Structure 1
């Protein structure tokens, strides 16, 4: 399954994904949306109207104490499995349930419930009002229009092939000219080998520049807004992401992590990056909504998630790291969240939607909680509740909630190594 995410990437997060999963043995219902799921297909059942987001996992083996446990998984009707969320073996998700980003499904949850965190905690859920014709029950004309846009996802693969052919043709021409039409093959090999470096660099630069051009041509500047799943903006955004993942990432961006190359490319894509910032992730989905201040650190495997897909409506909000802030490896920041000056979020943590992490403080966990040995700080949003709980030496889960917790169901683009 993981290898198919590379070889058949343009097919994922599209109308064709359910068909691909059926071919591999999964039982997939009608009107199902699947992004880059990892699963054992013939042990997986996804019922009508379900949504599996980027790098979600279903029926993945559980390994521990010298044993490998393999079991089946059923995702119920209308249920949602968020980015990097897990519905493990022999765990079934009932109808209309939700497992939030980086979350784990509990054992036998009731229908219609929503769950957050690695130690699953029930959270409130507010439905997003939207036209069913643009979300769960689109007419055939919208489905056909989506297919037409998604067929263009193969264009980046064609460009890769053309660039490869151009490099081979150039080096063959260099070889033939240097070797005197083959009379001095050793000299031809030496000259072609020397020429291969600038040829490869030129091809990588072209492959990395093309997604920048297509980004501005297809979607322009990202702004905070709401768009239903069946709208041309969402399809064009996914098409732009295919150009990034197929062209830019394999050629130059992956090897440029943490270097000025990635910083410069991200700025061209619209990301606001300050001086001396360390950026080691390309998962910055809606680039114009990402702000990374001077001396801030974005570590490897992190996701600055700027959109949610709650009830199949794409809601976009900005994400910000202030000066000197640090986001630890493999951590998530959800839309509307921010890290204050010199704030630290430790590895594998989840910053909830619209959380404002105060400056000069230390946070960790899924979802984040103030680290006890860190300096006292005042937070806002749901983070404030957890900070006050720490100050009183109580677990936040034991205290009454002062307001609804934001739903953190996401789908992204986000895309390799941990994810619309």
Structure 2
């Protein structure tokens, strides 16, 4: 019972969004119970989505940066019992998105753990390498472009920019709180008016208030998101985390993280709402996705399917270097449950990405192909005669394994 209470109370989505992507998140995580050792403050040590089983058993090494979606696994559970264990991540690591780190993970110091990497739990201790995929394979720890960009910022410049970033992030947090307070105040006023009319109209007054609050919230948060972009559209960027543009982009993330993004999931109303937010989305689209982080950088064609829990992320943040680019999905594309699509991806028409796959940045997918795996590789060729992977008399829906050479994930 105590563990269940700790699990539920300490995993606050609101406070993670409020303090994440800023220097303030370090103090918040320490307050929860995470052991952060000697922190090298970057202003972006953690994102806006961290989870754990028990915060008192989370240990993060010095100089480590963590993107969104880290889940610290501290509990082994069976049908009759459970066991808690400390989960430790080594020094000077960088963790990508959607990583589940177990207590017996075999990674040490100075590792790059790419997005959706399956953490190895056996074999030698991995150090001074990058890891990617499921099952895991080694990649370079860092590419020259990121190393050169970081080296171009001197220590004195970094300290000055960090102070400026802290001030900018503080204003962002205040704007986030103001938007939530205004939303709550408007809902309170409408409910008060409904209760005042309850004797006259009964339950219909409450029903009308619910409809009014929902409609007003949609309009309000759509305007907040568009205003966070100054009523413009995002464009592809390459920038340091100490570049003022990145601070602006962080503000957009925080203000776009509104309650209505999960509203109407799997219904025809969700594409309409995203269209109002500036996303280019076609007709008859089924959208039950978990997250579309940069909606104005994302294009989805007609009759596409975005299945439960999938993510379209038009950016990457690695080693303090931010990159963003368009994601374009053609007509009739299908993104499987739990799949992850990275920035710079272009899909042709009627492409299928299987469940839990990770489609890496910059991939261009031909029409009528199927992709699977982490990282994703083509397993089904085009169904058109000139690109068929099977003999003409065979079923064009057959699957063929292809050789795959992984790209460098740290780039």
TMscore range, shorter length: 0.7 to 0.9
Per the alignment, residue 56 of structure 1 pairs with 70
Point out which structure has higher relative CO (alpha carbons under 8 A, 6+ apart).
1
Question: Could you tell me how far 1:18 is from its partner in structure 2?
Answer: 1.4
**Unaligned 5+ residue runs, structure 2?**
1-6, 389-398
Per the alignment, residue 210 of structure 1 pairs with 223
Per the alignment, residue 311 of structure 2 pairs with 303
Q: Does the 8 Å CA contact 2:268/2:285 hold for their aligned counterparts? A: no
Question: Could you tell me how far 1:313 is from its partner in structure 2?
Answer: 0.6
Per the alignment, residue 82 of structure 1 pairs with 96
Per the alignment, residue 395 of structure 2 pairs with none
Question: Could you tell me how far 1:12 is from its partner in structure 2?
Answer: 2.0
Question: Could you tell me how far 1:344 is from its partner in structure 2?
Answer: 0.6
Secondary structure in 2 matching 1:148: helix
Question: Could you tell me how far 1:173 is from its partner in structure 2?
Answer: 4.2
Q: Structure 1 residues 92, 156: closer, same or farther in 2, change over 3 A?
A: same
1:14-93 aligned at under 5 Å gives the runs 14-28=22-36, 29-31=38-40, 33-35=45-47, 36-39=49-52, 40-63=54-77, 68-91=82-105, 93=107
Q: Does the 8 Å CA contact 1:334/1:408 hold for their aligned counterparts? A: no
Secondary structure in 2 matching 1:363: strand
Per the alignment, residue 157 of structure 1 pairs with 177
Secondary structure in 2 matching 1:145: helix
1:169 to 177, 189, 195: 189
Q: Does the 8 Å CA contact 2:226/2:278 hold for their aligned counterparts? A: no
Secondary structure in 2 matching 1:45: strand
1:206-245 aligned at under 5 Å gives the runs 206-217=219-230, 220-245=232-257
The separation in 2 between residues aligned to 1:133 and 1:16, in whole angstroms, is 26
Question: Could you tell me how far 1:275 is from its partner in structure 2?
Answer: 2.2
Per the alignment, residue 363 of structure 1 pairs with 371
Q: Give the count of matched residue pairs.
A: 380
Q: Structure 1 residues 72, 289: closer, same or farther in 2, change over 3 A?
A: same
Q: Structure 1 residues 190, 288: closer, same or farther in 2, change over 3 A?
A: closer
Q: Does the 8 Å CA contact 1:308/1:315 hold for their aligned counterparts? A: yes
The separation in 1 between residues aligned to 2:18 and 2:115, in whole angstroms, is 23
The separation in 2 between residues aligned to 1:136 and 1:279, in whole angstroms, is 45
Question: Could you tell me how far 1:64 is from its partner in structure 2?
Answer: 6.0
1:278 maps onto 2:294 in alignment: no
| CA RMSD of superposed structures (Å) | 3.1
**Unaligned 5+ residue runs, structure 1?**
179-184, 380-389, 410-420
Per the alignment, residue 147 of structure 1 pairs with 166
